[in-house]
Amino acid sequence: MIATVINAIAVIAGGILGLLVKGRFTERFREIITQATGLAVIFIGAEGAIEQLLLPEHNPVLFVVSLVIGGLAGEALDIEGALKRLGDRLESMCGTSGGVSKSFVSASLLFCVGSMSILGSVQSGLNHDYSILLTKSILDGIYAVIFASSLGFGVLFSAVTILVYQGGITLAAGFIEPYISADVLRELSLVGGILIAGLGIDMLGIRKLKVGNLLPSMLVPALYYGILHFVR
């Protein structure tokens, strides 16, 4: 758990620094920072997805099926609504209406959607190998500075999401590890990259995308290859 705790602390530290920087900008400059952040998130996600698409062994259909099935499941569960309600509750507790909910949800998705969270947590739990999560901590700390400077202090609460999500995977590493094959990681990285790109599109206001409701898409590749393994 120590690497996950470090990851959460890095996000809090980066978020605080971002808030200090944010106070020095006028609304006009904060808007351009938000636009720059949205564009960056789109290309971060697109890069990760395209990298997997170019691999000759990737499944050309699975990611589409994953997004559709995952989206239907997420819509039925209303994950986006649950995340927003949690964000609204945090906003109410803080006694503010400064977009805490939006920044909390956006930052939580960015920091937790991706293969580094899963693989790093599994390695941390099984082998006490913290290298991936420590690298992720540095990246997340930098992103937290940028996110907090544009979206506000709701980013700080995403540290709790990291503790629960990555901590849970670390504790369950022994059970999860047999199912994290190279095929699963490849397809998971592809779907995760698409979701991150979708988050950037939503941040820019190009189109409202329920990225939270697409989160179950991350489970479909693992289920597919798990079933395939047992059938064989």
Q: What is the pLDDT of residue 73?
A: 94
Please provide the distance, in angstroms rounded to a whole number, between the alpha carbons at the two ends of the chain: 35
**pLDDT on residue 89:** 81
Predicted local distance difference test score (pLDDT) of residue 98: 57
- The answer to whether residues 90 and 103 touch, using CB atoms and an 8 Å cutoff, is no
pLDDT tens-digit series, residues 51-104:
888 888 888 899 999 999 999 999 999 888 888 888 778 777 766 655 677 788
Mean pLDDT rounded to a whole number for the chain = 84
Mean pLDDT of 148-168: 86
What pTM, to 2 d.p., does this model score?
0.81
pLDDT over 70 at 145, yes or no: yes
Mean pLDDT of 171-176: 78
pLDDT value, residue 207: 84
Q: Residue 69: what pLDDT?
A: 95
CB neighbours (10 Å) of residue 60?
7
Q: What is residue 1's predicted lDDT score, i.e. its pLDDT?
A: 79
Question: By mean pLDDT, which of 28-37, 41-50, 85-94, 107-116 is the weakest?
Answer: 85-94
Q: Which positions ≥6 away from 214 have C-beta within 8 Å? A: 67, 70, 71, 74, 195, 198
Place of tokens 């939006």: 102
Section 145-169 average pLDDT: 86
Residue 61 — φ and ψ, nearest 5°?
-115, -30
Greatest CA separation for the chain: 61
Nearest residue to 34 via CA among 18, 58, 50, 14: 18
CA 229 from chain centre, in angstroms, equals: 28
